[in-house]
Amino acid sequence: MNIGFDAKRAYHNGTGLGHYSRTLLQSLSEYYPEHQYYLFNPKSSGSFEVKGKNIHEVLPQGLISKMFSSAWRSSWVKKDLKRLNIDLYHGLSHEIPMGIEQTGIKSVVTIHDLIHERNPEQYNAIDIKIYSKKFRNACTHAHKVIAISEQTKRDIIEFYKTPEEKITVCYQSCNPSFGKQVSGEEKQRVKKQYSLPDEYFLSVGSIIERKNLLSICKAIFLLRNELNIPLVVIGDGGKYKQQVKDFIHQNGLGEKIIFLSEKPAAISSKSFQSAIDFPAIYQSAIAMVYPSFFEGFGIPVLEALWSKVPVITSNVSCLPEAGGNGAYYVNPVSAEEIAGGMNKIYCDKEFAASLIEKGWQHAQNFSPLKSAASVMDVYKSLW
């Protein structure tokens, strides 16, 4: 079977949507080599690669398509789907080409979250309108909808009235590199390269209000007289990031909060920008702290579980799905609870070890093979 994919995020996105796309595509290629996978990429990229004998990158052809690559991706690509005899098309991030239902080509869409519907105050009005149109079109016209969590499935039914029988929950996996133990020598090399402290807590994700970095900083402040342990932050942001920095400055936390993504060593490192060094950074941390208010899934939680690192995360949204019984749960509003979890994991080594073991066992439910198999089952239901 010839299977086509919207590969924009796979080639260009360094956050959750990109990681999801690359991991799934590589897993499908490896575990189901009898199929051919065509990755429709609106423009060349030097950031990320997706390779395999049965993986074929497809770029827009012709001057007009190259000039208006977004139009090619959202509609004109249908001509290329027909030219390449694509049997099934999978929109990996919320959308499918407009009018694909008129081509006779089966289609699947993955919906990661509907945060713009649930929390519209976090977006500008134009973006909400665009997202709603694309997401709703995809849920209406795709033959099957993949939700990455039960939370997202409930939201699709609530906001778009999509029939439940049309939706399948397919949990994602993460890059297999997180599940491989990094050597002590490699950890030291990475620590030296990025000037990381010997001990640190870790926060990974876009620095936006929903991800709740401010509450982690408040927890660090509460622990200032008990634990002299800094927080390493991977991610970037705008207005909210400045709000966090204002709190840091006002409370004298400048040396305890390390914004790694803005350090010259990280900016100039391709292995940091492509996340190759992330497993070593994760596995050197005391714990991953991820008290998000709302997620479609929360991939850093899974990356930490695979890395055998204790996880502190929220007791709301889909995060208990991601963490299972292998995470320490907190009320994301409560800096006191977050601080309590950080202190407990640091001081109680036996408790931390039990979390690591439970987390590793839970992570096996999200292996690349299981993730690819669940998606392939959706494809097969359309044959």
For residues 155 and 22, state if they share a domain. Answer: yes
Task: Indicate which CATH number applies to the domain containing 275.
Answer: 3.40.50.2000
The mean per-residue pLDDT over the stretch 70-75 comes to: 94
pLDDT of the residue at 369: 95
Residue given tokens 């609870």 in the structure block: 337
The model's pTM is: 0.86
The residues that bridge with 39 in the sheet, in sequence order, are 5, 57
For residues 134 and 244, state if they share a domain. Answer: no
For residues 24 and 47, state if they share a domain. Answer: yes
How many C-beta atoms lie closer than 10 Å to residue 239's C-beta?
Answer: 9
For residues 31 and 94, state if they share a domain. Answer: yes
Express each pLDDT in 212-270 by its tens digit. Answer: 999 999 999 999 999 989 999 999 999 999 999 999 999 999 999 999 999 999 999 99
Domain enclosing residue 148, as ranges: 2-173+368-380
Express each pLDDT in 120-132 by its tens digit. Answer: 888 889 999 999 9
- The DSSP 8-state label assigned to residue 207 in this structure reads B
Domain count, the chain: 2
For residues 226 and 122, state if they share a domain. Answer: no
pLDDT of the residue at 296: 81
For residues 373 and 361, state if they share a domain. Answer: no
For residues 96 and 166, state if they share a domain. Answer: yes
Is a pLDDT exceeding 80 seen at residue 46?
A: no
pLDDT of the residue at 182: 96
Express each pLDDT in 149-171 by its tens digit. Answer: 999 999 999 999 999 999 999 99
The mean per-residue pLDDT over the stretch 144-151 comes to: 95
- Band of pLDDT at residue 93, cut at 50, 70 and 90: very high
Strand spans (E) along the chain: 2-6, 36-40, 55-58, 88-91, 106-111, 144-147, 167-169, 201-204, 231-234, 257-259, 288-290, 311-314, 328-330
Is a pLDDT exceeding 90 seen at residue 48?
A: no
**Mean residue pLDDT across the chain:** 95
**What gap in Å lies between CA 315 and CA 275, rounded to an integer?**
27
- Band of pLDDT at residue 383, cut at 50, 70 and 90: confident
Vertex 180, ends 178 and 184: CA angle to 5°? 105
The mean per-residue pLDDT over the stretch 111-137 comes to: 92
For residues 162 and 200, state if they share a domain. Answer: no
Flag the least confident range among 31-35, 128-132, 174-178, 353-357: 174-178
For residues 230 and 361, state if they share a domain. Answer: yes
The mean per-residue pLDDT over the stretch 192-201 comes to: 97
